[in-house]
Structure 1
Amino acid sequence: MVMLLAAVLIHRRRRWPGLAVAASSRAAVSGRTDAGRSGSAAASVSVQAPWIDATADPVAGATAEAQTVAPESGTAAAVTRESDDVDLGDTASASLSAEWVEPGFVTEPGKGKAEVLGGLRLSYDGVEVSFGRAVASDLFALLSTSQEGLATESIIDTLWPGDGDRGVRSLESAVRQLNQVMRQASGHAASVKFVVKTRQRRHLAPAYFDVDYWRFEKAFIRANSTGEESDRLAALHEMLALYQGPLLAGRDALWILPLRQAAQRQAVDAAERLAELVRGDDPDRALDVLRLAVERIDPYSELLWCQLMTIQGELGRTSAVRRSFGLLEERLAEIDASPSIEVHQVCERFLR
C-alpha cells in the first residue's frame, strides 16, 4: 500500500513541471521594489511554468491538479485556472503582454521614437540617440510632455529658474544641440529643424517625432469621449500597452511630479475600466489586466487589489483571494501602511 501511494505521488509530481521553480517565485515578488515609486518598469520575461505558490504543499497541489483529469480519456486536462492566481511577479505582465498587449509602440517611418513612460529614451531607425549635453536632455524631456509646446518664458522658468539671461542662453544651446544630434541620427540637411518655434512656443516638430506620452494622452481622450464600446476597449488597451512605467522615471525635478502622478492615475483608471468591461465575458482576462496594474502601475492601490480579489472570489478561488490579500499586506508594509477596513471587508466576504 505504501509503495502504491508513493508511485502515485511521484506520477503526479511529474505532471506538474512548475514545482521545480516554485521556490524562486515568491522570492521574486517579496524582493521586488515598487516600480511605480522607483521608476523602473516591470520587465517582460518568458515564462516556462505556471504561477506557483512557493509555500504550497506539493502533495496538496498535485491533488488539486489531479482533479482536472478528463473523465473520458483519463488524461490530465489543463491545470486549474486558480493556480494562475498564485503569484504576481513578472509572470503577470509577461503573460498579458504576450497574449494581447504589445509593449510600447511602433513608430511611424521617418520619425524619432521618444519614450518617456518608464524613462527617457530616444531612438531613430532603431538606433539610440545620445543627447550629448544635460541641457538638451532636460529640454527634450520637458517638450515631450506637451505636444503643443511651451512658451519660452515658461521653459526657462521651469528648467533654469532665476538664471535670467543665462537661462535664455541655455535654452538656445539646448535647441542647437537637439537639432544637431537629430540631424546626425536621421541624415537630414542642416536646414531641418527638429525643435521649432510657433507663436512664441517651442515644441518638438511632430513631423519628426513620435512620442509615447502624446499617444497615451490621445488614447485617454478617446477612451473618455467615444460612444462605441469597441473604440473604448481599443483606447484602454493602448493606454496600458504604452504605460511601461512612471513618466520620466529616474528624474526627480519638481515639475515632473504632478505630471507623473496624473499619468499614473490615468493608467490606473484605464486598468479599472478595462477590467470591468471585459470581466463579464472573460473574467480571466480581467484578472490579467489587474495583475499587470498592481505590478506595473500602482502596487499600493487598494482599489485595484479589491477589484482583483472580488473577481477571484466570485470565481470561487478563495485561496487566490487569501494570497492576494497577503501580497497586498507585503506591498503596503513597504510604505509602513496596512490594508484598510474596506479591504478586510472584501477579503472576509469570500473567506467567511
Structure 2
Amino acid sequence: MVPAASAEMPAIDAAAAGFVAGDRRTIEAQVNPEEKANVDAPRLGANTETEAGEAGVAAPEGMAVTSSAPALMASGFVAAPGKAKAEVLGTPRLLYGGAELSFGRAEASDLFALLSTSPEGFSTQSIIDTLWPGDAARGGRLLESAVRQLNQVMRQASGLAVEVKFVVKTRQRRHLAAAHFDVDYWRFEKAFIGAGSAGQESARLTALQEMLALYQGPLLAGRDALWVVPLRQAAQRRAVDAAERLAELVRGGEPDRALDVLRLAVERIDPHSEMLWCQLMAIQGGLGRQLAVRRSFGLLKERLAEIDAAPSPQARQIYERFVR
C-alpha cells in the first residue's frame, strides 16, 4: 500500500526549507596542526566533546551529547490558512490555529493516522481490515464512532457548522477533506513525484530540498501497528534517496552544502545507511579532509555494530583510498 500524492498542495516555505548551517567553531581535536586543517567544522552544532561533534556529524538518537545540536534544516511546513496542520513525519500531531488537538478514543486516533497516509483515502472494508482485522461487525461500529469523534473534534476546534464534514466519502472511499487538512506526508509524496518528473535541475533541487525539510522523523513515529511498517520504510527510503540525489547535485559547486545534506541524513533519516556514509567519506576525502574521513568511518562502524553488522569491503575501500 503506497499512498498517492495530493494534487493540490501549497509550496513549502522557501526560507524555512533552506539549509541553515550551525556553528562553525574550530574543533579542538587532539591532533597535530596539519591534521587540524582537515577536520570538518561541526555544522550541526554538535558538542565538540563528542566524537560525533569532532567528525562534524551530530549524534544519532541514543548517542549522548553534552549539549543539544540544533537541527540542520527546520521543517518549513506551514499549513495553508484555515486548515488543520497534520504532522505525521515524526511524532504525530494535529494542530488547528496553533492549538494541538487530541482524540478521546483510540479508534479516532487510529483512523486519523491511517487516513493521513493517503489523500484519496481507503474503502470502508479496507479500513476495517487494516485497523480492526477479523471482526467486521465490531469494526464497522468502531469506524462510525471514529468518524463521528474526528468530525466533532475538528468542528469544535474550527467553529464550523455541524453540517461540515471533515471525514468524507468519495466513490466509496473515506478520506480526510483536503479543504480542511494540510498533511506533511502528502506534501512529501508530492515532492517525491516532482523530484522524479521535473525537467529542470532547479525544480529537482527544490523538490528534493522540500522532502528533506519535511522529513522530521519516521512516519507516524511511536506507532507499532503492522500496517505502518511498510509505509514507514518506504518514506525512509525516499528520504535517503532524496539526500543522496541532492548531495550529488550540489557537490560539484557546493561541496560543503553536500556534506550538510549527508550529515542531516545520517543524523535524522538513517544512521545505518552505508551508502550515505560512503558518499560522505568520498566528499570529505575529495576535499582532503583525512581526519574527517577517519572519524566518519569510525562512526559508521559504531552505527553498523548497533545492528550487528560491519562495513562492507566497498566501504573499507573508500576509506582506505583517502586514509593511508
With normalisation by structure 2, the TM-score equals 0.84
Q: 1:93 to 1:234 in 2, by over 3 A?
A: farther
Q: Distance in 2 between matches of 1:234 and 1:182?
A: 32
1:220 aligns with 2:196: no
Q: 1:274 to 1:92 in 2, by over 3 A?
A: farther
Task: State the secondary structure of the residue aligned to 1:132.
Answer: coil
1:92-241 equivalent positions in 2, closer than 5 A:
94=70, 96-97=72-73, 102-241=74-213
Q: Which runs of 5+ in 2 are unaligned?
A: 1-19, 43-53, 60-66
Contact preservation (8 Å) 1:328, 1:339: yes
Given the alignment, which residue of 56, 78, 94 partners 1:87? 56
Deviations 1:296-347 (A, max 9, x none): 0000000000000000000000010000000111111111111111100000
Match of 1:311 in 2: 283
Cα deviation, residue 93, structure 1: 7.3
Q: Distance in 2 between matches of 1:328 and 1:187?
A: 51
Cα deviation, residue 96, structure 1: 2.8
Cα deviation, residue 92, structure 1: 11
Q: 1:215 to 1:125 in 2, by over 3 A?
A: same
Q: Which runs of 5+ in 1 are unaligned?
A: 1-44, 68-79
What amino acid sits opposite 1:151 in the alignment?
S
Match of 1:7 in 2: none
Regions of 4+ moved over 6 Å: none
Deviations 1:256-286 (A, max 9, x none): 1000000000000000000000001100000
Match of 2:274 in 1: 302
Cα deviation, residue 49, structure 1: 6.4
Contact preservation (8 Å) 1:247, 1:259: yes
Match of 2:30 in 1: 57
What amino acid sits opposite 1:307 in the alignment?
Q
Q: 1:281 to 1:47 in 2, by over 3 A?
A: closer
Match of 2:216 in 1: 244
With normalisation by structure 1, the TM-score equals 0.77
Cα deviation, residue 199, structure 1: 1.2
Deviations 1:63-87 (A, max 9, x none): 767x8xxxxxxxxxxxx77333723
Task: State the secondary structure of the residue aligned to 2:94.
Answer: strand
Q: 1:228 to 1:104 in 2, by over 3 A?
A: same
Contact preservation (8 Å) 1:93, 1:291: no
Q: Distance in 2 between matches of 1:346 and 1:47?
A: 27
**In terms of Rg, which structure is larger?**
1
Equivalenced residues, count = 287
Cα deviation, residue 50, structure 1: 2.5
Q: 1:108 to 1:197 in 2, by over 3 A?
A: same
Root mean square deviation of aligned Cα: 2.2
Deviations 1:121-178 (A, max 9, x none): 1000110001121100000000000100100000000000111211000000000000
Cα deviation, residue 47, structure 1: 5.6
1:13-92 equivalent positions in 2, closer than 5 A:
50=25, 52=27, 56-57=29-30, 60=32, 82-84=40-42, 86-89=55-58
Q: 1:150 to 1:301 in 2, by over 3 A?
A: same
Q: 1:93 to 1:277 in 2, by over 3 A?
A: farther
What amino acid sits opposite 1:94 in the alignment?
P
Contact preservation (8 Å) 2:39, 2:292: no
Q: Distance in 2 between matches of 1:293 and 1:157?
A: 35
What amino acid sits opposite 1:204 in the alignment?
L
Task: State the secondary structure of the residue aligned to 2:168.
Answer: strand
Cα deviation, residue 51, structure 1: 6.8
1:348 aligns with 2:324: no
What amino acid sits opposite 1:138 in the alignment?
D
What amino acid sits opposite 1:89 in the alignment?
A
Cα deviation, residue 94, structure 1: 3.2
Cα deviation, residue 52, structure 1: 3.4
Answer 1 or 2: which has greater helix percent: 1
